[in-house]
């Protein structure tokens, strides 16, 4: 059942993309915007009026979107090969599309922003970010790299859900690796504890859509 649901979701997204691409004249009526380059806080987390919320913030245009309103595109220029020592992405030398954690001309520079969580509002000034699942033709890995070349894997679609802590009022970037072209759905959730009430707050599971260009 799970597999069927996944495939139909992917098919629906693929169809939507085809429809959008084929009918540019009606782009104004399109349900979502394609973001394919520049600095975008893909996982923007806000805590306002007791609501923890996920959104996408395009730093280039200062536009803000609900995650379901955007298709995040890894341009073909992101296509590379898996470096040695990064086996969690795939076999070294095999194809991978990587959106890097540093700004590269012509690629989406996909970040995480918690600037809209005021210090003191959440216990520990921290949220737990979880990527529950990634569905698509290939595998997905989200990771950081330290100064000495050691990767720190945050999410590996082969290993199930991945969670990590993100400080409130902070900003950071991830490397986003995909092993095949096509459409992917990532299911993301942020959770925290309200410092004043002690109640757990959550964004719920929110879907993000990526398009990896062949």
Partner 1 sequence: MRTLKKTSLLAAAIGAVAALLFSGTAQAATTISSGHVDVFAIAYDDTANKLDLNVKIYSTGQTIEPADALFDVHSGHQVTMASATACRWDAGANWVLPRTEQTGKIWAGWNTDGLNLASFGGNVKVNLVSYSAPAGGHVSIYDSTTNTTRLHTNSGCGASAITVTESHHHPTWVFTEPGVYTLTLRLSGTHSVDGAVTSDPVTYTFDVG
| Chain positions contacting partner 1, by CB under 8 A | 83, 100-105, 144-149, 171-173, 175
- Smallest gap from Cβ 87 to partner 1, in A, equals 15
Q: Considering the complex, state which of residue 36 and residue 203 has its C-beta at the smaller distance from partner 1.
A: 36
Q: Are 97 and 75 in contact (CB under 8 A)?
A: no
- Smallest gap from Cβ 114 to partner 1, in A, equals 13
- Smallest gap from Cβ 36 to partner 1, in A, equals 16
CA distance 119 to 136: 37
Q: Are 177 and 101 in contact (CB under 8 A)?
A: no
Polymer length in residues for the chain? 214
Q: Considering the complex, state which of residue 48 and residue 103 has its C-beta at the smaller distance from partner 1.
A: 103
Other beta carbons within 10 angstroms of residue 169's beta carbon come to 14
Q: Are 151 and 88 in contact (CB under 8 A)?
A: yes
Reading the block at residue 46, the tokens are 């806000």
- Smallest gap from Cβ 170 to partner 1, in A, equals 9
Q: Are 161 and 133 in contact (CB under 8 A)?
A: yes
- Smallest gap from Cβ 102 to partner 1, in A, equals 6
Burial tier of 87 (Cβ tally within 10 Å: 0-12, 13-18, 19+): exposed
Q: Considering the complex, state which of residue 90 and residue 100 has its C-beta at the smaller distance from partner 1.
A: 100
* Residues in a beta bridge with 160: 156
Q: Considering the complex, state which of residue 79 and residue 172 has its C-beta at the smaller distance from partner 1.
A: 172
Q: Considering the complex, state which of residue 83 and residue 132 has its C-beta at the smaller distance from partner 1.
A: 83
């Amino acid at each position: 059942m799970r597999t069927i649901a996944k495939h139909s979701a992917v098919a629906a997204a693929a169809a939507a993309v085809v429809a959008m691409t084929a009918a540019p004249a009606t782009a104004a009526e399109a349900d979502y915007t394609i973001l394919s380059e520049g600095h975008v806080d893909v996982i923007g987390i806000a805590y306002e009026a007791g609501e923890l919320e996920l959104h996408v913030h395009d730093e280039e245009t200062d536009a803000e979107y609900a995650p379901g309103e955007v298709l995040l595109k890894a341009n073909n220029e992101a296509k590379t090969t898996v470096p040695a020592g990064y086996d969690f992405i795939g076999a070294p030398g095999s194809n991978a599309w990587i959106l890097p954690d540093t700004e590269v001309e012509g690629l989406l520079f996909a970040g995480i922003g918690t600037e809209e969580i005021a210090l003191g509002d959440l216990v520990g000034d921290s949220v737990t970010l979880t990527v529950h699942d990634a569905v698509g033709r290939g595998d997905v890995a989200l990771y950081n790299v330290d100064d000495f070349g050691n990767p720190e894997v945050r999410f590996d679609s082969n290993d199930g859900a991945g969670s990590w802590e993100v400080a409130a009022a902070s900003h950071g970037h991830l490397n986003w690796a995909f092993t095949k072209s096509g459409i992917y759905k990532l299911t993301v959730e942020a959770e925290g504890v309200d410092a004043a009430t002690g109640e757990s707050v959550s964004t719920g599971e929110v879907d993000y859509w990526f398009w990896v260009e062949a």
